[in-house]
């Protein structure tokens, strides 16, 4: 998001480093999406996983025909929406894992004894 947010479209078209950086980050997001299980993607169908993976494919296999303005628009607009949606999925999972981890901690006296032993 930070690579595209502060420059105009003309400046961005000329900035090969920013284009490359955004493309690479979108490739990473797309590759991670492809590694999610079908069941997970189905449970969270509000996110267009297919489009995210497809963007990765275009970036990897058809980079020469890429419209860089699409990248310029995607980074500050679509990525924050995706980040918010993914946080909504992960936050409850993290809280559940944290609670289960805390249940496995020994009582405070035992923990002190273990540390000092």
Could you tell me if 19 and 68 are in contact, meaning their C-beta atoms sit under 8 angstroms apart? Answer: yes
Respond yes or no: is residue 38 known to be catalytic.
no
CA angle 69, 70, 72 (to 5 degrees): 60
Name residue, tokens 């419209």.
Answer: 67
**Which of 16, 17, 61, 99 is the catalytic position?**
61
Respond yes or no: is residue 43 known to be catalytic.
no
**Residues involved in catalysis:** 56, 61
């Amino acid at each position: 998001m930070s690579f595209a947010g502060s420059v105009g479209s003309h400046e961005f078209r000329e900035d090969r480093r920013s284009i490359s950086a955004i493309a690479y980050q979108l490739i990473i997001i797309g590759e991670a999406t492809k590694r999610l299980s079908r069941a997970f993607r189905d449970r969270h169908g509000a996110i267009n996983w297919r489009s995210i993976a497809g963007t990765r494919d275009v970036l990897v296999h058809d980079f020469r025909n890429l419209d860089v303005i699409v990248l310029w628009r995607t980074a500050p607009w679509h990525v924050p929406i995706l980040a918010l949606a993914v946080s909504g999925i992960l936050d409850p999972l993290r809280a559940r894992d944290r609670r289960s981890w805390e249940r496995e901690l020994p009582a405070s006296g035992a923990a002190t004894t273990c540390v000092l032993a």
